[in-house]
């Protein structure tokens, strides 16, 4: 009786946003009298960082420091419509709406600055630190605060902007399935190394090495958080979780975390991640949504690693010791495949 | 554990010189989260807050002969026992807001239940403990019906009919077929010419989203004749629209507040809690909370549904896949929720990130007597990716090619044509494969290292097939297979609504909300309750409620054109 190691591979692509489109999101941006901006949304921050990523997108587009922007979201009286936080649509759809709203507000701010400075607005640029200056002449400058004050107290202009992003709904051909599902795809590849105990049937994930292509990592720490957590979830789906252990029978359904199994701290495998960025032509600053796809390659990579280790194919998830042992029994013992 | 950014790849497609984008800025809500001060829905406490628990079916499938709530109502502290007839518009499909399926699910069932755990009554009480005690005192006279739990059993002739709107246990796509089709080229002809035909069967299990914060909502009467609802929803206006529809309320009277959620993963889209909490609030005039406990969350809350996939590949000796055929079964559980949508998403995803000249899929959305399935991270994709990538490993093993080399041999590249008949752009699968192999020390050939997503695609690979084999199987004849199709469907729907409306009279104290006008004069004193005070029930029984119950005139928002092909006929 012994333990066998094996490596499994899987790669995937992932559609970003609701399938077929037809899922708008809106944003409203306005400045207070001091040139500090508020972004109003109705999008949901599930912990993924919706408020942070839209804040950075607004600051980048407005050309002001991120500390000068806050995001207020999900009060239906004040936030304009958003379809919701699902289908990896938040960054892509809401991000684009925030860009549009911020561009409109920025244009007003630059117009106001131009009037104050008696120059053409097209000749102005922001330095991202709270200043607006003439291109090529940084000394001829005005602060964003002065511009916002001039707009609101001298010129009678509202420094605000509206944004919406909608991919029009695609038809589906009933006979061929022809459709435009989404406009943008993320990618990933995953190699999982497992160790299989041929006496107990237990598997342990030893290491994960992966690459994820996310368009652009708008906030690298948030991307890291998504990929690390998502891969853990994929590992959990592969070898731990189910609400119906004897599916399709409904017996023995777990009702708490004593029975609904998930990998604990001792089960977490080292995960080495490479992040690739091929900007999406219609993504906000090229960003795609990394949130959902990060779990997907882990499931098949785990079962492929089990096959590589002991020659047992597990086609029904989750991989349980019982399934592994039955497979070993059917094969007359472990049949390790080529080492990789 | 390490994270690296491969800025060397696709560098010429990217401007890395930006002010805020690409910076690891800390979240604006971080301090609140780590100090436990961020306001989640359950942090909005009201004096006199009432609590809800549901009476649930112990059976997979049963007819409700009667519900006796009298003993529960007599329990001290019980403020209201809500049953189906109290719900103004007690039939909904979550996707009807997207015009994507027939209304098929009651908020509280009153005729039959189709899964274990289906709610038939809701207790509103001073405390959760009292609500739980009262649940045990509700007597339901059940007539147990035969049930079906397996997707392939459920679509056999003679199987118990799970869902009244789809009696054959299959969703109807585009008003035309009992499954979603994908047809690209001629799979059967290609399979005949292939060197190898490789088959597989894959089963994805149901999984719980398992957020730390369970699903729920708190509703309270607001001044100005409105209701405020604090919610954990993932789609604020989605839930608002669903509540407005089920409660037959103008959306102007609903004020939803959410946005900070303790994990969702897809499980907080179903909008079950908001309408029931608001209804409890409407019927008692008091703030009302409805939340899942962990057991509810795991067994009654909708999971990621199970999927079963059969894949048949035609493969040449050199590793090229020339044909790929899918038969897929999504286990929707008892009601549609979002499963019909996920299947079209899955169809658009096939055959995975590969350029295969002949692709075929039949995907069925099947109703079974289990907890309805809903969205979860990777919805419509995770299950079939498991099947595809598991299958790819078998193909590699069968033809004796390294698994990574096989992927790259078949990988889609810029300019290729996909099976849903759109050109592939902005692809990066090959680079992901190369980088992962490098990180893991997986030896690959020089050929693998030289490949690129940017070259080798398009040309002949970008052309549509000269011939696509199509068929009519699974065609749903109008009025022939049960009740599908235009006219007969509509009739069945109205009949259902009429019976629903004409069923047992509501308990004496219940205001008949069904006919409550959308806009009420703000001067009516009974309709401006304060949030924290004891207020009379919002709808006076003397209101314009004398009209007989009528078939529902459904407000179907024209936000989207018809996809299912049924609702707009």
Same domain, B346 and B456: yes
B276 domain residue, yes or no: yes
CA–CA gap between residue B6 and residue A80 (Å, rounded): 37
Domain of B252, in residue numbers? 216-299
Alpha-helical regions (H) of A240-296: none
CATH architecture under which domain A3-16+184-331 falls: 2-Layer Sandwich (3.30)
A11–B429: do the CB atoms touch at under 8 Å? Answer: yes
% of chain A residues with pLDDT over 70 = 100
pLDDT of residue B396: 98
What's the longest Cα–Cα distance across chain A?
87
Burial class (CB in 10 A: 0-12, 13-18, 19+), B76: exposed
pLDDT of residue B541: 38
Contact, A326 vs A319, CB < 8 A? no
Q: Is the pLDDT of residue B547 over 50?
A: no
Q: Tell me the average pLDDT of chain A.
A: 97
How close A30 comes to chain B (CA, Å)? 18
More confident residue, B480 or B259: B259
% of chain B residues with pLDDT over 70 = 84
What CATH code is carried by the domain that includes residue B280? 3.30.365.10
- Tens of pLDDT, residue by residue over B11-24, are 999 999 999 999 99
B319 domain residue, yes or no: yes
Of B22, B206, B440, the CB nearest to A218: B22
How close B102 comes to chain A (CA, Å)? 18
What does the pLDDT average to over B173-192? 97
Same domain, B443 and B307: yes
Q: Is the pLDDT of residue B58 over 80?
A: yes
Residues in A touching B390 (Cβ below 8 Å):
300, 303-304, 313, 315
Compute the radius of gyration of chain B from its Cα atoms: 27
pLDDT of residue B98: 74
Contact, A83 vs B238, CB < 8 A? yes
Those of residues 481-540 in B touching chain A at CB distance below 8 A are: none
Same domain, B283 and B359: no
Same domain, B314 and B439: yes
Q: Is the pLDDT of residue B557 over 90?
A: no
- Tens of pLDDT, residue by residue over B142-152, are 999 999 999 99
Instruction: Decide which of B462, B491, B520 is a domain's last residue.
Output: B462
Q: Is the pLDDT of residue B545 over 90?
A: no
Helix, strand, coil content of chain A in percent (nearest 5):
35, 25, 40
In 3D, which of A284, A207, A290, A96 has the Cα closest to residue B428? Answer: A290
pLDDT of residue A1: 77
pLDDT of residue B381: 98
Q: Is the pLDDT of residue B28 over 50?
A: yes
To test the contact with chain A by mutation, choose from B174, B179, B187, B207 the residue with the greatest count of A C-beta atoms within 10 A, namely B207
Contact, B305 vs B206, CB < 8 A? yes
B153 domain residue, yes or no: no
> Least CA distance to A72: which residue of chain B?
B259
What does the pLDDT average to over B272-284? 98
Same domain, B188 and B230: no
Confidence of residue B483 (pLDDT cuts 50, 70, 90): very low
Q: Is the pLDDT of residue B501 over 70?
A: no
- Tens of pLDDT, residue by residue over B424-480, are 999 999 999 999 999 999 999 999 999 999 999 999 999 999 999 999 999 997 633
B143 domain residue, yes or no: no
Same domain, B405 and B388: yes
- Tens of pLDDT, residue by residue over A168-207, are 999 999 999 999 999 999 999 999 999 999 999 999 999 9
Same domain, B437 and B288: no
- Tens of pLDDT, residue by residue over B351-395, are 999 999 999 999 999 999 999 999 999 999 999 999 999 999 999
Same domain, B369 and B404: yes
- Tens of pLDDT, residue by residue over A240-295, are 999 999 999 999 999 999 999 999 888 999 999 999 999 999 999 999 999 999 99
Q: Is the pLDDT of residue B498 over 60?
A: no
Instruction: Decide which of B462, B487, B513 is a domain's last residue.
Output: B462
Angle between the N-to-C axes of helices B429-440 and B403-410, in degrees from 0 to 180, rounded to the nearest 10: 170
Q: Is the pLDDT of residue B248 over 50?
A: yes
Same domain, B251 and B342: no
> Which residues fall within 8 angstroms of residue A105, CB to CB, at 6 or more apart?
A29, A30, A31, A37, A62, A159, A160, A161
Compute φ and ψ for B67, nearest 5 degrees. -125, 120
A19–B183: do the CB atoms touch at under 8 Å? Answer: no
- Torsion sign (Cα): A229, A234, A237, A243: positive
B223 domain residue, yes or no: yes
Same domain, B357 and B386: yes
Q: Tell me the average pLDDT of chain B.
A: 87
Contact, A98 vs A55, CB < 8 A? no
What's the token pair of residue B381? Answer: 């994709």
Residues in A touching B404 (Cβ below 8 Å):
9
Residues in B touching A77 (Cβ below 8 Å):
255
Confidence of residue B96 (pLDDT cuts 50, 70, 90): confident
Where do the CATH 3.30.365.10 domains begin and end in chain A? 3-16+184-331, 25-165
Q: Is the pLDDT of residue B526 over 90?
A: no
pTM: 0.90
Q: Is the pLDDT of residue A37 over 50?
A: yes
% of chain A residues with pLDDT over 90 = 98
Residues in B touching A76 (Cβ below 8 Å):
236-237, 240, 254-257
Q: In this predicted structure, which of B51-60, B177-186, B302-311, B505-514 has the lowest mean pLDDT?
A: B505-514
Confidence of residue B223 (pLDDT cuts 50, 70, 90): confident
How many alpha carbons lie under 13 Å from residue A23 in its C-beta half-sphere?
A: 25
How close B388 comes to chain A (CA, Å)? 8
Domain tally, chain B: 2
Instruction: Decide which of B462, B493, B522 is a domain's last residue.
Output: B462
Same domain, B380 and B251: no
pLDDT of residue B518: 33
B16 domain residue, yes or no: no
Q: Is the pLDDT of residue B222 over 60?
A: yes
More confident residue, A156 or B527: A156
pLDDT of residue B542: 39
Helix (H) or strand (E) holding B330: strand B321-333
Q: Is the pLDDT of residue A77 over 80?
A: yes
> Least CA distance to B426: which residue of chain A?
A280
Same domain, B247 and B396: no
Q: Is the pLDDT of residue B491 over 80?
A: no
B519 domain residue, yes or no: no
What does the pLDDT average to over B244-255? 98
- CATH topology for A25-165? Aldehyde Oxidoreductase; domain 4 (3.30.365)
Residues in B touching A277 (Cβ below 8 Å):
5-7, 9-10, 14
pLDDT of residue B478: 62
Contact, A190 vs A10, CB < 8 A? yes
């Amino acid at each position: 009786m012994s333990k066998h190691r094996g490596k499994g591979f899987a790669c995937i692509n992932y559609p970003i946003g609701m399938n077929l489109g037809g899922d708008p999101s809106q944003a409203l941006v306005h400045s207070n009298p001091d040139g500090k901006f508020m972004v109003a949304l109705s999008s949901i921050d599930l912990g993924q960082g919706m408020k942070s990523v839209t804040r950075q997108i607004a600051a980048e587009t407005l050309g002001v420091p991120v500390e000068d922007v806050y995001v207020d979201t999900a009060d239906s009286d004040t936030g304009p419509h958003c379809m919701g936080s699902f289908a990896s649509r938040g960054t892509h759809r809401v991000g684009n709406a925030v860009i549009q709203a911020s561009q409109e507000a920025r244009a007003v701010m630059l117009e106001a600055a131009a009037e104050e400075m008696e120059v053409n607005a097209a000749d102005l640029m922001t330095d991202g630190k709270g200043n607006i200056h003439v291109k090529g002449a940084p000394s001829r400058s005005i602060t964003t605060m002065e511009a916002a004050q001039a707009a609101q107290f001298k010129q009678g202009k509202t420094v605000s902007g509206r944004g919406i992003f909608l991919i029009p709904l695609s038809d589906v051909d009933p006979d061929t399935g022809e459709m435009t599902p989404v406009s943008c795809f993320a990618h990933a590849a995953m190699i999982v190394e497992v160790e299989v105990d041929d006496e107990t049937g237990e598997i342990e994930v030893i290491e994960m090495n992966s690459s994820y292509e996310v368009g652009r990592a708008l906030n690298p720490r948030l991307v890291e958080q998504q990929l690390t957590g998502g891969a853990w979830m994929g590992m959990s789906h592969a070898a731990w979780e189910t609400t119906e252990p004897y599916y399709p029978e409904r017996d023995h359904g777990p009702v708490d975390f004593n029975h609904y199994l998930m990998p604990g701290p001792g089960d977490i495998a080292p995960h080495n991640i490479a992040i690739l960025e091929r900007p999406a032509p219609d993504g906000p600053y090229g960003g795609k949504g990394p949130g959902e796809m990060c779990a997907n390659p882990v499931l098949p990579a785990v079962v492929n690693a089990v096959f590589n280790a002991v020659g047992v194919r597990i086609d029904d998830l989750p991989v349980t010791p019982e399934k592994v042992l039955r497979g070993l029994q059917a094969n007359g013992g472990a049949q390790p495949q080529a080492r990789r | 554990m390490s994270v690296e950014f491969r800025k060397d790849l696709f560098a010429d497609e990217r401007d890395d010189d930006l002010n805020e984008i690409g910076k690891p800025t800390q979240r604006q809500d971080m301090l609140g989260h780590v100090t436990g001060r961020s306001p989640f829905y359950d942090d909005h406490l009201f004096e006199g807050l009432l609590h809800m628990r549901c009476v649930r079916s112990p059976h997979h499938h049963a007819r409700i002969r009667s519900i006796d709530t009298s003993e529960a109502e007599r329990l001290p502290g019980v403020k209201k026992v809500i049953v189906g007839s109290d719900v103004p518009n007690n039939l909904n499909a979550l996707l009807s807001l997207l015009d994507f399926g027939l209304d098929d699910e009651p908020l509280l069932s009153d005729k039959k239940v189709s899964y274990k755990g289906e709610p038939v009554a809701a207790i509103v009480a001073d405390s959760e403990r009292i609500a739980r005690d009262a649940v045990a005192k509700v007597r339901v006279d059940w007539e147990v019906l035969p049930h079906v739990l397996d997707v392939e059993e459920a679509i056999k002739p003679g199987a118990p009919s799970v869902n009244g709107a789809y009696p054959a246990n299959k969703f109807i796509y585009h008003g035309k077929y009992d499954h979603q089709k994908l047809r690209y080229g001629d799979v059967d002809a290609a399979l005949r010419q292939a060197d190898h035909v490789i088959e597989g069967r894959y089963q994805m299990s149901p999984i719980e989203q398992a957020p730390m914060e369970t699903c729920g909502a708190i509703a309270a009467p607001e001044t100005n004749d409105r209701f405020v609802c604090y919610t954990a929803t993932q789609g604020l206006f989605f839930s608002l629209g669903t509540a407005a529809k089920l409660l037959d309320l103008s959306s102007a009277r609903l004020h939803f507040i959410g946005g900070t959620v303790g994990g969702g993963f897809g499980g907080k889209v179903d909008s079950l809690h908001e309408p029931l909490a608001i209804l409890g609030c409407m019927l008692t005039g008091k703030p009302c909370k409805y939340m899942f406990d962990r057991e509810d969350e795991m067994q009654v809350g909708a999971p990621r549904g199970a999927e079963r996939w059969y894949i048949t590949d035609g493969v040449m000796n050199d590793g090229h896949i020339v044909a790929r055929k899918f038969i897929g079964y999504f286990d929707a559980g008892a009601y549609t929720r979002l499963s019909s949508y996920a299947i079209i998403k899955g169809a658009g995803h096939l055959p995975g990130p590969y350029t295969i000249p002949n692709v075929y899929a039949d995907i069925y959305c099947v109703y079974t007597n289990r907890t309805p399935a809903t969205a979860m991270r990777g919805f419509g994709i995770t299950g079939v990716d498991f099947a595809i990538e598991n299958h790819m490993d078998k193909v590699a093993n069968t033809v004796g090619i390294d698994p990574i080399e096989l992927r790259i041999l078949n990988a889609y590249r810029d300019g290729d044509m996909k099976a849903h008949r759109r050109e592939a752009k902005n692809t990066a699968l090959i680079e992901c494969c190369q980088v992962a192999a490098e990180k893991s020390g997986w030896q690959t050939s020089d050929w693998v290292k030289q490949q690129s997503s940017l070259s080798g695609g398009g040309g002949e690979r970008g052309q549509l097939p000269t011939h696509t084999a199509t068929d009519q199987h699974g065609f749903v004849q109008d009025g022939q297979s049960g009740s599908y199709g235009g006219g007969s469907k509509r009739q069945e729907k109205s009949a259902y609504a009429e019976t629903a409306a004409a069923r047992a009279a509501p308990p004496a104290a219940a205001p008949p909300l069904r006919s409550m006008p959308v806009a009420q004069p703000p001067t009516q004193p009974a309709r401006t309750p304060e949030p924290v005070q004891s207020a009379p029930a919002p709808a006076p029984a003397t209101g314009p409620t004398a009209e007989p119950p009528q078939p529902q005139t459904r407000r179907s928002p024209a936000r989207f054109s018809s996809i299912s092909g049924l609702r707009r006929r």
